Amino acid sequence: MAKRWQNNLTWDDVTPKSAFMSRRQIMAGGAGAAAMLLAGRGRAETGDLVPNSYEEITAYNNFYEFGTGKEDPTANAGAMSTEPWSIKVDGIVDKPGDYAFGELIEGLTIEERIYRFRCVEAWSMVVPWNGFELADLLAKVGVQSGAKYVAFETAVLPDVMPGVRRGVLDFPYVEGLRLDEAMHPLTLMATGIYGKPMPNQNGAPIRLVVPWKYGFKSIKSIVRITLTDKEPPTSWNKANAREYGFYSNVNPEVNHPRWSQASERPIGGGIFAKRIPTLMFNGYEEEVASLYEGMDLSKSF
């Protein structure tokens, strides 16, 4: 079960390296996060990924169901009730059903992972997630042969979601992964930040985190997980296929049609913060490049 990884990426790395924490239990993770906080940003020199503050991570969000502004999710998502929460698992799977959130995650190992997070809008953060590997969840529900993709769906709650009432996107927000991407040990189902339950604006009670892909792949407040044999539709591809593909891999060499993806603005550094070069696969190239061998990444973007 134990998989050991080195967390040795620095902001000024030019050669991407492995960049996520070793497995830890949530309690150890909480203590680790606190120690990290106390150590402060000075830790960057030692080569660790230094997390953004809780305030930065929870006050600057994209969650269009609650509005298109970066402050809208913080302002509006508090009205969403996440208890009870149920998640439908269906499609090509042994144990389909409507699972209560607690039942679905029961027995899965929650750990802390500190991941770089890169938005397609060319800003970035470092987030200490608490969560479990999607692969562990998929093992629990039993993926059947023939399944090739995993599709995800976000809750649609018009009463509390002003963005849904206004129809700013075609809701429900949907996303998908190829099965091998979903099974990769970097792919997390996150249930918290900094050892606390997931804040609503960050996708309570459970959201996907795929650190080598642009942030929009990391779908929030999930209510449905479907194993399928066809490439599932994805919200941003539906909204603008020219600008957003199914793969959404961070790639500094493939620009967004309206802006460069070669560099990014780290959130939290203030207005004079230097842009930093964006790394291939957001710095996780060593771990994930093999998934895309033989693919033309300028076509499969």
**Is position 267 annotated in a ligand binding site?**
no
Residue partners of 264: CB distance under 8 A and separation at least 6? 118, 122, 123, 124, 275, 276, 277, 278
**Least distance in Å: CB of 105 to Mo ion?**
25
Under rule CB under 6 A, residue 61 binds ligand MTE: yes
Q: Which stretch binds ligand MTE (CB under 6 A): 17-25, 92-100, 219-227, 275-283?
A: 219-227
**Least distance in Å: CB of 103 to ligand MTE?**
22
Under rule CB under 6 A, residue 154 binds ligand MTE: yes
- As a whole number of angstroms, the distance between CA 172 and CA 89 comes to 16
Q: How many residues does the chain have?
A: 301
Closer to ligand MTE at the Cβ: 118 or 140?
Answer: 118
Contacting Mo ion (CB under 5 A), which of 195, 211, 215, 268? 215
Q: Which stretch binds Mo ion (CB under 5 A): 16-24, 32-40, 60-68, 141-149?
A: 60-68
Which residue number is nearest to ligand MTE in terms of Cβ? Answer: 215
Under rule CB under 6 A, residue 216 binds ligand MTE: yes
Tokens describing residue 72: 């809208």
Contacting ligand MTE (CB under 6 A), which of 77, 206, 219, 250? 219
Q: Which does 123 bind (CB under 5 to 8 A by kind): Mo ion, ligand MTE, none?
A: none
Q: Which stretch binds Mo ion (CB under 5 A): 40-48, 103-111, 118-126, 162-170?
A: 118-126
- As a whole number of angstroms, the distance between CA 153 and CA 223 comes to 6
AA letter at 238: K
Which residue, chain included where needed, has tokens 């539709």? 233
**Is position 52 annotated in a ligand binding site?**
no
Under rule CB under 6 A, residue 218 binds ligand MTE: yes
**Is position 248 annotated in a ligand binding site?**
no
Q: Which does 64 bind (CB under 5 to 8 A by kind): Mo ion, ligand MTE, none?
A: ligand MTE
Tokens describing residue 4: 């050991």
Strands 222-228 and 86-91: parallel
Tokens describing residue 76: 């509006």
**Is position 218 annotated in a ligand binding site?**
yes
Site for ligand MTE in 89-148 (CB under 6 A): 119
Site for ligand MTE in 221-240 (CB under 6 A): 221
28 contacts 62 by C-beta, under 8 angstroms: no
Longest dimension (CA), the chain: 53
190 contacts 131 by C-beta, under 8 angstroms: yes
Per residue in 139-170, is it b (16+ CB within 10 Å) or e — as a string? ebbebeeebbbbbbbbbebeebbbbbeeebbe
**Least distance in Å: CB of 216 to ligand MTE?**
4
* Binding-site residue positions: 61, 64-65, 119, 154, 202, 207, 218-220
